[in-house]
Chain A
């Protein structure tokens, strides 16, 4: 059964926020299935807030760390404001939909390298993560 574990509950920053979002997500059976199928590591970096979070997926569990996971398969870097708005971007096939203004704005940020995504060859993991974080 899909489960989200906040590794350091005392930290209470972005790690707790993401854990809260993911926990709410996996209460829905269709998103729990997504988490059950995920495998790999993701590090999210927010330079303007000087915060990093690591996500480790496997065996139906997501462990949320208050720091980067060295050697993460996927590395996402984006400003705090973009990250907070990311969950509200409509998705198409698990990626921000360029058919919407929000999706186009996000794509522009990727193209101008204000948002950087490393490990694109792990596209499945990226689309699964996007799906879990979406609240639209």
Chain B
């Protein structure tokens, strides 16, 4: 079972995106990459900020990578950046936090063109729903040793 956040988890997520007819439909005209930033929480085993980059194009994920840091050109030029502490993302993945409400409450920060985001709310919701379909083990729940 892939550990969140890790490269393996990201690979599984990409598979879910590319296998989703619902996402393909909702994001059929979407063009642009985005970066998810999982902010560090050393007490939970996330020692540094994690940058997950997704190149999303017309309902598919063409490429994805875990970036080295905020200076990676893909991070600096991404169309959208969505940032939250690790434990908030964990709440989203466990469906304990609705991402739209999280954004409105400032618990999840969004950077990018807002009109585009509201045009693609459905696609965004499907994308977030897909995260919860990945069979996930959370890094702070991995048994020691």
B114: which of A11, A24, A51, A85 is its contact (CB, 8 Å)?
Answer: A24
**Interface status of B144 (Cβ within 8 A of chain A):** no
Q: Do most interface residues of chain A lie in helix, strand or loop, or is the interface mixed?
A: helix
**Interface status of A80 (Cβ within 8 A of chain B):** yes
A12-B109, A84-B121, A85-B121 given; A17·B103 CB < 8 A: yes
- A17 contacts B115, C-beta separation under 8 Å: no
A13-B99 Cα distance, complex, nearest whole Å: 12
A14-B103 Cα distance, complex, nearest whole Å: 7
A14-B104, A48-B101, A49-B104 given; A24·B113 CB < 8 A: yes
**Interface status of A30 (Cβ within 8 A of chain B):** no
Report the interface size for chain A: residues with CB under 8 A from the other chain: 23
B69-103 vs A, CB cutoff 8 Å, 1 = contact: the mask equals: 00000000000000000000000000000101101
Query: Whole-angstrom distance from the CB of B84 to the nearest CB of chain A?
Result: 11
- B105 contacts A81, C-beta separation under 8 Å: no
Query: Whole-angstrom distance from the CB of B126 to the nearest CB of chain A?
Result: 14
- A13 contacts B115, C-beta separation under 8 Å: no
Q: List 16 A-B contacts (CB under 8 A).
A: A13-B104, A14-B104, A17-B114, A21-B114, A21-B115, A21-B118, A24-B113, A25-B115, A46-B104, A49-B100, A80-B98, A80-B100, A84-B121, A88-B119, A135-B115, A135-B118
